[in-house]
Structure 1
């Protein structure tokens, strides 16, 4: 497994990250432990989770994902050879059962970190991320921005100050953002430089054949400012495996949770068919081509893969050995020009 150091940190991570949002909903604790064992045996040392997981979020299962990872860590008896990342949930998502107020105040950040440490049964978190912004903005399938959230007040320095205290206490090591836009990434960087506060190291945003919006604005920010992209949903909730082209599979994430419509538009289906034909013409599975495309990008630090079975996980992990030819990359761009970013 190839490894890379996250820019401006000492964290050496695998180029493939194990995403865990299925643990506690689609996967039992035993299955979660099996996935973790297999991933680590395959060379993965980077595990990503969140306080609100599993998906779909609901009060009855809140925190199960972190707790399953925690019980695995306890049984394994080793921690320092792993990089564990988790996230604090932000407001505006209707999850009043997490904590109130659901914001990024110093009190909320500390409360969330302490609970994640307890759930994960660890003394420290390697990478702590803000799952989505406090302000209302276009994300999770929304296109464009026509007005700004005037109710939200800028608090970048205050947030970074709260993280500095936790870093000094040894409870977290580095910080990152998720589902963010170029403006806020630059504001976080400028505030950290202005006040000598912790610098964001990573951004976790969607990136796939169906959603390449990261290339506009954020890619340049990350390359110039040395912020690493942790690309999530590289298979678009399984759409880019091709398994849903005939019909939505009933036991899949999209089948079980039909509210997730980000990747199920008519244009997404049309684009997926074209990508599948291209993959087959080059003796690749669609999964292999889709993951290899993401891993090819210079601004991608690690690709987050998730699965509900060991068979799926094996195919996802094995993709790190695949290198796409310039001819295939050119054909991918032809399809992108025909049907640009159908799943924002």
Structure 2
């Protein structure tokens, strides 16, 4: 597996990142550790988690359990060969009682994550979503932008100042965004440059063949500012594997716990899924591997965060690095997108 530069961080990471959000609900600790072992064997050195995890469902009772599972693995050794990313939960989460990100909240969250992860530093610390809200997670249809620019920027500056203190103390190496907008990213960078504070290095937004919002203004920003996309839900929560084709709900699947898959089940989605499954079949490709390999064709820095609930699924995703999409495949994908530009 190739190692690639992670933006301006100076870190080199694997071209796939292992996501962990099911560990503690859909997966046991032993299963999570088995996933890490398999990923390491395939050359993965980049893992992503969050203080809010596990999900399906998110709850105050289970908050932090995934970091604990990961921390128990790290305690066995090998921390120095891994790049660990985690996140602070934003405003409105049931896991934190709706608390927004503040300097004090961030400092406490970092300390708590370090303890659960059993490490002395976090390589990449991300704002799980902005306090001002965003259009992600199907909120686009009713999105209203904030208007109090001065208050928003004052809040950002205070967070960056605390980020600098945490960085100077060696507790966090780099900071990043998640579920943010182009304006937000630009504001974070401008304030950091003006005040000599840490730069937001990456952005973790949703991206898949079914969710292509990033391929517009965000694409330009990521390319010109060298802010890599860490794409979550690259298989559209399993839709692009074909396992839900025909509107079925396999036993033990994510859809069994979340029937609408976070708003992704719409009147149009299965037609779009069928189109992409057809492209994969026509060219003799595994549909999940095609969806993941598509990331490597993007004209901006990006990599997918892969997740799995069993080792067979994980192996399929890990082996996607051996797949290169031909121009014919890319032409057919482009045609499918034109037919179904926004299925959810």
TM-score normalized with structure 1 length: 0.95
From 102, 117, 129, the equivalent of 1:120 is 117
Aligned pairs for 1:18-167 (under 5 A) are 18-55=18-55, 56-75=57-76, 77-93=77-93, 95=94, 97-98=95-96, 102-144=99-141, 147-150=144-147, 153-154=151-152, 155-167=155-167
Q: Name the CA distance, whole Å, in 1 between partners of 2:127 and 2:333.
A: 32
Residues 229 and 268 of structure 1: CA distance in aligned 2, closer, same or farther (over 3 Å)? same
- For 1:304, the equivalent position in structure 2 comes to 305
Partner deviation per Cα, 1:27-69 (whole Å, 9 max, x = no partner)? 0001011001111111000000000000121122111100000
Query: What SS class does the counterpart of residue 110 from structure 1 fall into?
Result: helix
RMSD: 1.5
Residue 216 of structure 1: CA displacement?
1.5
**Number of residue pairs aligned between Structure 1 and Structure 2:** 339
Report SS of the residue matched to 1:214: coil
Instruction: Provide the secondary structure at the position in 2 that maps to 1:174.
Output: strand
8 Å CA contact 2:17, 2:304 repeated in 1:
yes
Name stretches of at least 5 consecutive residues in structure 2 with no aligned partner.
Answer: none
Does structure 2 conserve the Cα–Cα contact (< 8 Å) formed by 1:295 and 1:303? no
Q: Kindly tell me: are residues 53 and 266 of structure 1, through their superposed partners in 2, closer, same or farther at Cα, counting changes over 3 Å?
A: same
Q: Deviation of residue 74 (structure 1)?
A: 0.7
**Any gaps of 5 or more consecutive residues in structure 1?**
none
Q: CA deviation at 1:188?
A: 0.5
Tell me the TM-score normalized by structure 2: 0.95
* Stretch deviating more after TM superposition (41-50 or 247-256): 247-256
Range moving further from structure 2, 154-163 or 260-269: 260-269
Contact 1:92 1:136 in 2 (8 A): no
Displaced runs of 4+ in structure 1, greater than 4 A? none
| 1:236 lines up with 2:233 in the alignment | no
Query: What is the aligned partner in structure 2 of residue 264 from structure 1?
Result: 265
Q: For residues 206-217 of structure 1, what are the structure 2 equivalents within 5 Å?
A: 206-217=206-217
Q: Partners in 2 of 1:244 and 1:131 — Cα distance?
A: 28
